[in-house]
Structure 1
Amino acid sequence: MDVEVLGHVALRVGEDRRTPSAPKARQVLALLLVNANRLVSTDALIEELWAERPPRSALSALQTYVFQVRRLLGELVPDTPPKRILITTPNGYEFRADPARVDLQRYERHRLAGQRAFHGGDNLAAVEQFRAALHVFSGPPLANVRRGMRLEAELVRLAESRTGVQETRIEAELELGRQHEVLSELSGLASRHPQHEGFHRQLMLALYRCGRRPQALKVYDRLRQSLVAELGLEPSRDLRTLQRAILCADPGLDAAGDRSPLRPAVPAR
């Protein structure tokens, strides 16, 4: 059985993909799946469903939603008792699944492998692992689920993690001298993240290495205008240093293997 949260939340066996029809049962399943193979406390599930104002019947209602999830499991995997997959403990519930079949856990394995390769100087392996991590996403995570406080926090974490993987993968590509290959992607990322210094730095460097110095300087100007107008901030010292280096046509910028002081770090889970 495949466990999917990096897109629509679902359980899948072959071509049979299922999710509870009741919104709160689907919400319970989503929180269990993002924490697959870890205990999720009853309190955490109740907080996710009702925040700070749970009804008196919250525990009974939660048990009903768990029953609905188990009924779905019984339909999908009739040869395995649902209570062996969705375990009840004195403090909560644990959804047990093969980590290799959980898309979020596959993503994390590729992400961590890419991070190790990148920091070890193996940029080819880093690019391969980061691309594999990003390929696991089938769409916006938790797309079909109403989200409470805990799922919303998970969504924010995933968005930051995914952005970090994109940034570090592109950094590895630049170190391999692939500025032409990543230029179009960087333009789109800088447009979608108008105040993200990392993507703008990379775009400036890629443009410069492609012989487009005026465009690289325009990227800096647009970023500065956005930061000042929206946040009242100037670009960081590292961005200002890069701008001066581009103005001076610093030969050090031409080296594909040169590492910037703004080397990104992929957020840890």
Structure 2
Amino acid sequence: MSTESPSAPLGVLGPMSVGSFIDDRAIRASKQRLLLALLLVEADRDVPRDLLVDELWLGNPPSSWPTTLQTYVYQLRKHTLPGSPGRIRTTRSGYRLEIDRSLLDWCEFERRAGEADRSAFARPVVADAYREALALWRGTALADVDHSPRVQAVAERLERLRRAARAAQLTASYRSGRLVDVIADARSVLMDDPLNETAHVCLIRSLAGRGRRHDAARHLHRFRKRLLSEAGVASATVVETAYAEAAREPV
């Protein structure tokens, strides 16, 4: 598998990134940015006008919506950069952003994470493959775009895939014996997702595996307190089991 740093010129895995496609400095109005995001997440597919109207105005469009929508599209086309990898086409039902989907960061993320899921390589290689896929993320998906129902659904789906890839990467790293890496990576995951059970399990097992059983016990105690305060639950069986198993293992 590739060990090159992943990169993609267009993306939604963080603030919307369209620098190789459109002059982003010229697209500042919230509805224009939302339209661009809708075309981007539906790249290379027809997006019906009815859907765009519902998303842009949440079912309550102004009487001038046909002209307004055309103006938004005109502005996007006007600020498309020379040599851009994509262009916006008018279709019978609406509009389509024609572009090679392999240039889009979330498509590349899904491809790399899917390859890692299916991989028969040794665990260290699989862990590195997940790490490469996760490196494409720059923050919360579409963080700087108003969340219409469709954009919200896309962002939530991508975040679920991100959490699954993080969990798989931690598990592969732990099973590869990379305990120092797991400790750092698990703590990073828990900064964003404090109740992620896989991260807690891997962190506790790795701390214990490094001879830091006292730190593992302290972490379990902090996790119990947070779980009780945020979820109203006194314990999580899978985390408790991981600690009990780690505590029984010889140092």
- TM-score normalised according to structure 2 size: 0.84
Provide, for residues 210-231 of structure 1, a one-character-per-residue CA deviation record: whole Å limited to 9, x for no partner. 1111221222222222222222
For residues 113-159 of structure 1, give each alpha carbon's deviation from its aligned partner in whole angstroms, at most 9, with x where no partner exists: 11112xx4632332232122122234443243232222222222222
Which residue does the alignment assign to 2:124?
124
The Cα of 1:108 is off from its aligned counterpart by: 1.4
Runs of at least 5 residues in structure 1 that lack an aligned partner in the other structure? 255-269
Distance (Å, rounded) in 2 between the aligned partners of 1:71 and 1:10: 18
Cα deviation code 1:36-71 (max 9, x no counterpart) = 122322232222211132222223322221121122
Distance in 2 of aligned mates of 1:29 and 1:42: 13
2:83 to 77, 94, 102: 77
Partners of 1:123 and 1:172 within 8 A in 2: yes
Deviation at 1:100, TM superposition (A): 2.5
Structure 2 residue 23 is matched with structure 1 residue 18: yes
Q: In structure 2, what is the equivalent of residue 44 of structure 1?
A: 51
How do 1:161-180 residues align onto structure 2 when only pairs under 5 Å count? 161-180=161-180
Aligned pairs for 1:53-64 within 5 A = 53-64=60-71
2:40 counterpart (19, 33, 41): 33
Q: Please, which moves more after superposition, 86-95 or 23-32?
A: 86-95
Partners in 1 of 2:191 and 2:138 — Cα distance? 22
Q: Work out whether residues 182 and 202 of structure 2, in 8 Å CA contact, stay in contact via their aligned partners in 1.
A: no
Given that 1:217 and 1:246 are in contact with CA atoms closer than 8 Å, whether structure 2 keeps it comes out as no
Q: Which amino acid aligns with 2:170?
A: I
Give the structure 1 partner of residue 229 of structure 2: 229
Tell me how far apart the structure 1 counterparts of residues 36 and 190 of structure 2 sit (CA, whole Å): 35
SS at match of 1:218: helix
How far 1:17 sits from its partner (Å)? 6.0
**SS of residue in 1 equivalent to 2:63:** coil
The equivalent residue for 1:265 is none
Give the Cα separation in 2 of the matches to 1:192 and 1:136: 16
Secondary structure class of the residue paired with 2:10 = strand
Is the 1:47–1:149 contact (alpha carbons within 8 Å) kept by the matching residues of 2? Answer: no
SS at 1:3's partner residue?
Answer: coil
2: CA distance, partners of 1:24 / 1:54: 12
Map 1:161-240 onto structure 2 (within 5 A): 161-240=161-240
Distance 1:141-1:192 versus aligned 2 partners, 3 A rule: closer
Aligned-pair RMSD on alpha carbons?
A: 2.6
Following TM superposition, by how much is the alpha carbon of 1:182 offset from its aligned partner in structure 2, in angstroms? 2.3
